Structure 1
Amino acid sequence: MLSALKFIYSLTGGLFICMGTLRGQVKDSLVSQELVDLFLKQLDSLPSLIADGKMQRIHSGCLLPGHIEYHRVVNGIHYYFPDDALRLDKRKRPGYARMHAIKNQTLYYYEKKEYTKAIRLFEAALQIAKENKFYFEELHNLRPGLNNNCFLSGDFETAMRVSTEGLATAEMIGDKKQAAHFNNAIGCIHLKLGNHPDARRYFTNELKGAKELRDTSTTGHALLNLADLAVAEKDYDKAIAYLDEALMTYRSKKSSGTFTPVEREGYIANKKASVFKLKGDHKKAMPLVLTALAILRENEAAFNAYDKAEIYINTADIYNHVLLPDSAILFSQKGMEIARSIIHREFMRDAYEQLAIAYSQKHDFPKAFTYQKLFTKLKDSIAEETNQREIYQREAALQLELQRQMQQSTLQRQRTWRNIIIGIAVLSIVMVIFLYNRYRLKQKNRYQKELNRQQIELFNAIAATQEQERKRIAQDIHDSLGSILSAAKLKMAEVKDNKPELSGDEKFISGINLLDEASSELRNISHNIMPATLSKLGLVPALKNLAEKISTHKGLQVHFIAHELDSRLEEQTEISVYRIVLELINNVVKHAAATKATVQLIKYPDHINITVEDNGKGFDAVKMNEEKTGIGLGNVMARVEYLKGKLDIDTMPGKGTTVVVDIPFA
């Protein structure tokens, strides 16, 4: 994901780095008339400036005629005009100059990191471009620049609107270069919001367009985007394949636009090392990260500060895994120094963590404790910001979907009314009434279907949000309190090293044992909220683990059986089945007074069957249904109903209980 966002920034970086501005001229209005007049003067002089060789010609990479830029600097102000500007109608020149002046002013707010104000200016300039069909400025400068500020401010809703409109315009005029760019931007937004199928579709379109253009740089970036998507989906072998293909793409050309081939070699080596590290294969990760490090040392000027910091910290992490703390400390400090210079909090957090681990391995517990505290404090701060941003992103995603539905509904109504008008001119009054009534009936049915679909989507969104929140809470409990307990154990170990006589002290040993018990209890709480076995190994191992734990601690023997479940199900299906079984087993533990229970799962081609049976005291199912008692069983019924499943309860007092659930696959 980071590489994709850096690619978007690279496409718009020239706009901000080279654009320049008049300092001190930002007033209450959007732009000063003085600045507009300066751009108008340069625009009027453009033919003679080109003829005299005072304008530098820049090729944008676009194949459309007229999409070539000319550039010059006057008194610190950078002027960029496309070849199309030479043929502007005189009536459009003032608006064109005003658009450029507004665009120029965005740098003032961009440098102050006031992205909301920069976005407002970009929107104003973009409106002028759209009204006057200044396609080059719209597609190559304004929309990419606006997107860049939206990404930096986390405004993905605006970024999605800007990118989808830009993609439609680029396809309309045949600008394949920018169509690939907007496919990239939309794919990045979907990846950021966790919409992996949509992200894959747009990244694939970007790759297809780049290959048609034979654009090495864009092709390489599209492959890197697909690699990031594969990592997000935990398909690490596919990620490695995409990275290898991207590397061969960059090697096929001496120069690859924004990045140099040697820099790409180092960057991709580091990315591959990270993927192997995620797979737990540190032996393969080590030579790759050392390759990236060697390339960085020999070509330091070719790397940006972000990639340098990432390579150093990744190197430190791998050295810690192979128990070489001195090397880990060296590279952690290098990475931390760069991270501080660019104010990159995530890199600073990771550097603190590696330093804490390295000093712990060296038994330098005071330093380990110091860096552990720094890591925990910064990590909690970032996590809080991330949670707020994720809430905003989820709201933005729902808003985007609502806008899409409204647009489709509007288009559908327009088409329908057009057909009705044509029908009125051709058919008789009776036929018109008949068609109108039929139309109303169709609208009602369509509305009902849409309402049902939205209810299902809302349930899925709520369920996904709940599971995500469970994961976050479990992770926060494990990481935050776990870090504190780990730090406490480090301190106790340090005291023990410094005072060997305490080894025989019962109170001291009791304190260490209490810390161990606290750590164990913390893991149990975290597991109960969201079992790690479910996300890592799947449904069957998670339910086996649940059965074993209950059989060990609750005085109830739970027997678990699974048939035809050799492969994993979809994540949402596994979570739903696990929650249903967990609720039913909890009911057995709390109410059944049973000594034995059996949980059976059978996978069929179109559904999964769940059976939970116990030898407990049973209950009156008819009475329970009439009185609406039993919150736990009510939760199971509600979940099964939303999943369009079937539930059957066979029980009576003194005869035990059998619950059968059938859940269809989506």
Structure 2
Amino acid sequence: MHFISEASKFKSINSDSSLLFIRKAVDLSVRSKSLILISRAVQKLGEYYMSHEMYQDAAACYIKCLRIEEYRKDELRIASLNDNLGLLYYYMEVFDKSLDYHQKALDIYQAYNDVPGIARVLNNIGSLHSSREFCEKRTEEEKMADFNTALDFHRRSIDQYSLIHDERGVAKVNQDIASVYNKMKKPEVALGYVQKSLEYYRKINNPEGIEGVLFTLGKTYYRLKDYKRSIEAFRESENIALAGRLTGGIQYLYEALAMPYYDIGDYKNAYNIYIKYMTIRDSVYNAEKSRQIIELETKYQSELKQQEILRLTAEKKRKNSLIYLLGALIMLLGFSVIYYIRLIYKNRIIADQNIRIKEDKILQLEQEKQYLAARSVMEGEEAERSRLASDLHNGLGGLLSGIKINLSSMKENAVITHENVSSFNHAISLLDTSISELRRIAHNLMPETLNHYGLKTALEDFCSQVSPAGLPKIVLQFFGEEIRYTKELELTVYRIIQELVNNSLKHSGADRIDIQLFSEPDRVSAQVSDNGKGFDSTAVEKEGKGKGLQNIRDRVTALNGKFDLRSRPGEGSEITVEFIIS
């Protein structure tokens, strides 16, 4: 029910939002398997279709609801749906069917003594009789009989609304009665009814009601030839409609507003407002309305150029048919040239847009090519590092370890003079140092800790290995969760930090190097900063120096990451890289 009330709220403001809420109401009601909720939601959908002149869809909705209520045997709901079908055929201008459905609804409401329902249907029947001339061909006498019948039903409707003190219903019927008297060419009688209706809507401050009654009031003043008040009423109605976004059917307001302007000789406003009407109406070309526009435009132009026309009247009389023909040809040629120039300009714009699109595609392809190239280089480099690390560790490392074992065995089993023991021990010590250095080089080429334990542990090992005995002090800070990312991403982050720390150790002259690693499920970021001598980052980039920085950029580009460098001479440096996990 919430979505149905929201749909009613947006009915006059935003029809798209209204339809959205109605569809949500239908979906929820179907899921709930509640027949009454389904019936109410589908009925609201039918009302939406009817307001947008989609009569076949509206009829299908009402018929479905009617079958549900007949199954449920809910007579008042059946009456409501019959009333809706009566309105549907009213808009379709099928008088007999409309009256038949309204009468069925009225019979049920009367049987249940449902006063609001009786009042509403009586008013609808009155409106149907007042519009019968649009459904059937009627003589003037028949039209007057229809209008009197309509007034009788409207008055009976007011009696019912008065019984339950429904002032809103009375105001609505008073507006409809005013419309009937206007059709009967009795605007002086209509004026009293429409003013009563307006007074009520102003009292309750109902913008939608005020806007509709002002439209009727404007038409009434127009029939009374009080064009000033007619324009004022129409303009106030327009302002309320625009302010409250109550723009459904506003084209009919503009159509009516153009007429008093036209009758007072204000052809400029009449023309502009009628153009608004034609634009909003957005329907098939109508020859009669086009003739009116041309006439209004001609009169407007004539008013502006009256003095010039008077001055040229004598000269125009002397012109012969050849001059007229020549003028027509020149005008035709002028229009042709303008059209051709505009066509060329439009084609040029389209061509420029196509060129820009192609250039953007080429740039995108080049960037993708650079990404692939950078990634291929990185993958090849890491594969070679891995191979070298494996060869050094398994090959040369194993060989050196074997030599050490054999030498140690010789020391224990062979007889060595006292003078040679010191040299022998020094040789074994050098061999231990070589094995340690070999393992360090192999670890730098491909850190096994990274593969087994992840970034945090690998970076802790790296910092402990490269930290000197004195300064600079290397501080690693880890924020977030210990998450394992793809092997490629972890290795890239590790290599970048490794390169940045080595650069700081070699060139910065800092006494402190800070490493910060941020690990999140959807993001990994690393920052390396020092308090060293810094450098001019702009000059380095322009001169193409700094191969280490370029390598880092290539690694970041290969994984579509972000790179940020901040450094000035004497202020240290700070480099940040970030990768988004998609």
With structure 1 as the length reference, what TM-score do the two structures score?
Answer: 0.37
With structure 2 as the length reference, what TM-score do the two structures score?
Answer: 0.42
Rg (Cα) greater in structure: 2
